[in-house]
């Protein structure tokens, strides 16, 4: 008899079924996190076993879209890790200013917090008008939210603090209109933003870019999938292009370590070498 | 449940062989952890993974603070790092820490558990999944309920569980919540926990 637990067998089968049926590939995601997400989904669906969940999502595409909301992790904030954005302003922006036009890719943009943060920073540095931003994610609901640019008013005080620490030059309130419990962000911030469905696990490079921001996405991947993503970033970036990662993400354990050099290591800002 | 440990006692059941130790602590945890870990000698061979709740400040100096006081190597856990023997890992503030089935570490920013990220439950439950019965879980002082579920999971998978005696803990909520969910193998004061870890290492390494 196999020593593998039933739940582990069922989980592998579910992930395989999702891939075969819907082409969403979670096979190389970090297992511990996926397992928790699925356990959480089981409770929400009020199902007892992962096998029952598999049956449901195989036969009902809308149930799969519901499950996808649990499998992706929409935890984000604007100007998350303010010192990271400050370092982009101080160390990267002066170099970006030398380009006549800019293409920027926010990979795994979730509900858009990273997109609006980057757009605000670029506007204050006079770069937004000559930039095209590609904001991509695998979750269509998240992309739709990102496009709306409407965030809960409850999160604004925290974002405001971050914005100021990140070297913000104006009032954060200049960028949104408060309406009841929501902050509606200035739509001119996303005039040059293209929101698109793109998977780092299954899709390929779509454009040459000067800067790629992929923050707190790679931690959910195993090493193999991380390397696939780094490969895409390497292929997409122009000569000496910039790659910025989340505060605990690193190229150090990757096969692409030598293809990039740290520009501000502490802030996870790298440059293609 | 044994309530003291002063060394190997032939009249007591033998200790199990474990491959790793996980430790959780909250309020009052720094002093408690120092008391335990100071007992560990240079060359101690088991990996120790620790979640200590701290204010959500992005750069923690925990590893540096402990390094200067301890004889064993100490570091903040990195994403996708393979667990090395004899190393004390601290979970980074703002991220959950998990053990993967290949005994590497992974970080995540899933929802907080009992208002905490890192969460003791997440570390303990994932470690129990990976190590099965060959794991010891230690839950110390703290003022919330994080860790109780994780301890129960370790026990359910056949691992060894050790709870700090709430009567001697700076904050008793966390150990008491664990006792409400399961009966641990040991309910001990801090010095005994240190001795027990030394003995577990001697058996395993």
pLDDT in tens, B83-94: 999 999 999 999
B6 within domain boundaries? no
Confidence of residue B60 (pLDDT cuts 50, 70, 90): confident
Please state whether beta strands A260-264 and B88-90 pair in parallel, antiparallel, or not at all (unpaired): unpaired
Say which of B78, B92, B100 has its CB closest to residue A31.
B100
Active-site entry in B53, B60, B116, B121: B53
The pair of structure tokens assigned to A82 is 């303010």
Please state whether beta strands A102-107 and A182-185 pair in parallel, antiparallel, or not at all (unpaired): unpaired
Region of residue A101 (left: phi > 0; alpha: psi -120 to 50; beta: else): beta
B164 within domain boundaries? yes
A223 touches chain B (CB under 8 A): yes
- Per the annotation, the verdict on B121 as an active-site residue is no
The pair of structure tokens assigned to B130 is 């990976």
Of all residues in chain B, the one with the smallest CA distance to A220 is B108
**Residue B56 confidence (pLDDT):** 66
Task: Name the minimum distance, in Å, from the CA of A129 to any CA of chain B.
Answer: 33
Give residue B179's domain range.
Answer: 20-204
CA–CA gap between residue B160 and residue B151 (Å, rounded): 9
**Could you tell me the CATH superfamily of domain A82-272?**
Vaccinia Virus protein VP39 (3.40.50.150)
**Residue A106 confidence (pLDDT):** 98
- Per the annotation, the verdict on B146 as an active-site residue is yes
Measuring CA to CA, how many Å separate A122 from each of A96, A101, A103, A207, B55? 10, 12, 12, 20, 31
Indicate which of A10, A32, A87, A166 best probes the interface with B, i.e. most B CBs within 10 Å of its own CB: A32
CB contact under 8 A, B106 and A81: no
**Residue A1 confidence (pLDDT):** 47
Please state whether beta strands A237-245 and A193-197 pair in parallel, antiparallel, or not at all (unpaired): unpaired
B154 within domain boundaries? yes
**Residue B59 confidence (pLDDT):** 63
Query: CATH 3.40.50.150 spans which residues of chain A?
Result: 82-272
Here the ipTM equals 0.91
Residue A245's SS3 state is: strand
A113 touches chain B (CB under 8 A): no
Eight-state DSSP code of residue B110: P
CA–CA gap between residue B77 and residue B83 (Å, rounded): 9
B157 touches chain A (CB under 8 A): no
A231 touches chain B (CB under 8 A): no
B194 within domain boundaries? yes
Q: pLDDT digits over B132-154, tens only?
A: 999 999 999 999 999 999 999 99
CATH number for the domain harbouring residue B98: 3.40.50.180
Residue B33 and residue B50 in contact, taking contact as beta carbons nearer than 8 Å: yes
B126 within domain boundaries? yes
Residues 65-84 of B with CB under 8 A from A: 78-81
B186 within domain boundaries? yes
Please state whether beta strands B48-52 and B88-90 pair in parallel, antiparallel, or not at all (unpaired): parallel
Better pLDDT: A75 or B106: B106
Of all residues in chain B, the one with the smallest CA distance to A225 is B80
Query: Which residues have a Cβ under 8 Å from the Cβ of B192 and sit 6 or more positions away?
Result: B4, B5, B6, B186
Active-site entry in B19, B121, B146, B185: B146
B85 within domain boundaries? yes
B10 within domain boundaries? no
B99 touches chain A (CB under 8 A): yes
Q: pLDDT digits over B192-201, tens only?
A: 999 999 999 9
The pair of structure tokens assigned to B123 is 């570390």
- Per the annotation, the verdict on B61 as an active-site residue is no
The position carrying tokens 């696990």 is A201
Share of chain B above pLDDT 90, in %: 91
The pair of structure tokens assigned to B105 is 């570490």
- Domain total in chain B: 1
Give A-chain residues touching B104 at CB under 8 angstroms: 223
A199 touches chain B (CB under 8 A): no
Task: Name the minimum distance, in Å, from the CA of B20 to any CA of chain A.
Answer: 17
CA–CA gap between residue A36 and residue A31 (Å, rounded): 9
Which parts of chain A register pLDDT below 70? 1-3
First to last CA, chain B: 25
CA–CA gap between residue A83 and residue B58 (Å, rounded): 10
Strand segments (E) across A81-236: 102-107, 131-137, 150-152, 176-179, 182-185, 193-197, 209-214
CA pseudo-torsion sign B93, B22, B189, B45 = negative
């Amino acid at each position: 008899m196999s020593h593998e637990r039933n739940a582990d067998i069922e989980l592998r089968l579910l992930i395989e079924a999702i891939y075969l049926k819907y082409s969403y590939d979670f096979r190389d995601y970090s297992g511990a996190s996926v397992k928790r997400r699925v356990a959480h989904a089981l409770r929400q669906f009020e199902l007892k076993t992962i096998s029952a969940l598999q049956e449901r999502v195989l036969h009902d595409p809308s149930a799969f879209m519901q499950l996808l909301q649990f499998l992706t992790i929409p935890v984000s904030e604007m100007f998350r890790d303010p010192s990271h954005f400050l370092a982009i302003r101080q160390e990267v922006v002066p170099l970006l200013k030398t380009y006549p036009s800019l293409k920027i890719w926010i990979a795994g943009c979730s509900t858009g917090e990273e997109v609006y943060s980057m757009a605000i920073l670029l506007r204050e540095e006079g770069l937004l008008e000559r930039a095209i931003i590609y904001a991509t994610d695998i979750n269509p609901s998240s992309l739709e939210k990102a496009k709306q640019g409407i965030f809960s008013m409850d999160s604004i005080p925290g974002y405001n603090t971050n914005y100021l620490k990140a070297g913000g030059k104006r009032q954060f309130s200049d960028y949104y209109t408060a309406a009841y419990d929501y902050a509606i962000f200035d739509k001119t911030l996303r005039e040059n933003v293209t929101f698109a469905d793109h998977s780092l696990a299954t899709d390929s490079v779509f454009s040459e870019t000067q800067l790629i921001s992929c923050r707190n996405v790679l931690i959910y991947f195993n090493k193999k999938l991380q390397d696939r993503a780094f490969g895409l970033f390497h292929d997409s970036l122009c000569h000496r292009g910039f790659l910025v990662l989340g505060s605990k993400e690193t190229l150090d354990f990757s096969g692409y370590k030598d293809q990039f050099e740290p520009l501000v290591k502490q802030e996870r800002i790298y440059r293609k070498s | 449940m044994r309530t003291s440990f002063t060394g190997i006692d032939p009249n007591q059941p033998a200790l199990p062989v474990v491959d790793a130790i996980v430790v959780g602590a909250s309020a009052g945890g720094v002093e408690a952890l120092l008391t335990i870990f100071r007992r560990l000698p240079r060359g101690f061979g088991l990996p120790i993974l620790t979640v200590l709740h701290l204010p959500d400040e992005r750069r923690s100096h925990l590893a540096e603070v402990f390094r200067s006081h301890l004889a064993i190597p100490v570091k903040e856990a990195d994403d996708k790092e393979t667990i090395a023997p004899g190393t004390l890992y601290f979970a980074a503030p703002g991220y959950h820490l998990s053990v993967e089935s290949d005994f590497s570490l992974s970080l995540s920013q899933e929802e907080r558990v009992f208002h905490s990220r890192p969460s003791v439950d997440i570390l303990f439950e994932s470690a129990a999944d990976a190590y099965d019965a060959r794991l010891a879980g230690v839950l110390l002082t703290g003022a919330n309920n994080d860790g109780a579920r994780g301890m129960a999971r370790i026990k359910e998978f056949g691992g060894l569980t050790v709870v700090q005696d709430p009567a001697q803990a700076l904050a008793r909520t966390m150990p008491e919540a664990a006792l409400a969910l399961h009966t641990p193998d040991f309910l001990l004061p801090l010095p005994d926990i240190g001795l027990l870890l030394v003995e577990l290492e001697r058996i395993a390494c």
